């Protein structure tokens, strides 16, 4: 990785016990060499979306409700599709049990899985499982321990869902319920 890139957060962030510790988020710059197995995050107006970089400009992620009311499966998509017009940051983990090819194999082993659950099996749970073997979500934990933050995230998710639905209607594409 390029050591000349500044961290977005200067103070360490630590994930929950047992999960890979998070030390910083680094902005993804053009020309940055991404290593397969890297945890990628896009901030989407009040919440974060997570994926694992698998090489060749592709990311495996839990689509969740990205396409509308119907939950989506674990998919392999392009970086641009994953980002959906948002900036991407690299989430560094200091003690991941699975790195590189191992993390990629774990991510790809769940392709097509369609058991998305916002509170128990979301895109962040998926990524922490790929890297640490444990399914954890710091976003969910924060929302459950801080109800106000939880309500803000739920409103952001609702707005994103409505916007996605409207995009589909105006583009002449309607997602089947």
The CATH number that applies at residue 136 is 3.90.1720.10
Q: Is the pTM of this model over 0.85?
A: no
Q: Which domain holds residue 30?
A: 22-170
Q: Is residue 6 part of a domain?
A: no
Q: Is residue 2 part of a domain?
A: no
What is the total count of domains within the chain?
A: 1
Q: Is residue 91 part of a domain?
A: yes
Q: Is residue 99 part of a domain?
A: yes
Q: Is residue 136 part of a domain?
A: yes
DSSP secondary structure letter of residue 29: P
> What tens digit of pLDDT does each residue of 111-147 get?
999 999 988 999 999 999 999 999 999 888 877 787 7
- Residue showing tokens 């659950």: 117
Q: How far is CA 58 from CA 32, 37, 120, 121, 171, in A?
A: 14, 11, 25, 22, 26
Percentage of the chain exceeding pLDDT 70: 67
Q: What is the mean pLDDT of residues 164-172?
A: 48
């Amino acid at each position: 990785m390029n050591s000349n890139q500044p961290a977005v957060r200067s103070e360490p962030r630590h994930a929950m016990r047992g999960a890979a510790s998070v030390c910083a988020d680094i902005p993804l710059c053009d020309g940055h060499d991404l290593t397969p197995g890297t945890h990628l995050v896009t901030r989407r107006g009040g919440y974060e979306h997570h994926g694992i970089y698998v090489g060749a400009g592709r990311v495996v992620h839990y689509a969740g409700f990205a396409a509308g009311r119907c939950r989506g499966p674990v998919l392999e998509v392009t970086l641009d599709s994953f980002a959906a017009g948002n900036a991407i940051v690299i989430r560094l983990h200091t003690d991941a049990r699975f790195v590189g090819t191992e993390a990629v194999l774990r991510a790809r082993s769940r392709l097509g899985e369609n058991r998305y659950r916002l509170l128990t099996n979301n895109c962040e749970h998926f990524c922490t499982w790929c890297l640490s073997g444990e399914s954890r979500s710091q976003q969910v934990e924060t929302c459950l321990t801080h109800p106000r933050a939880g309500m803000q995230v739920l409103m952001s998710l609702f707005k994103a869902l409505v916007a996605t639905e409207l995009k589909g209607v105006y583009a002449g594409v309607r997602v089947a319920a």
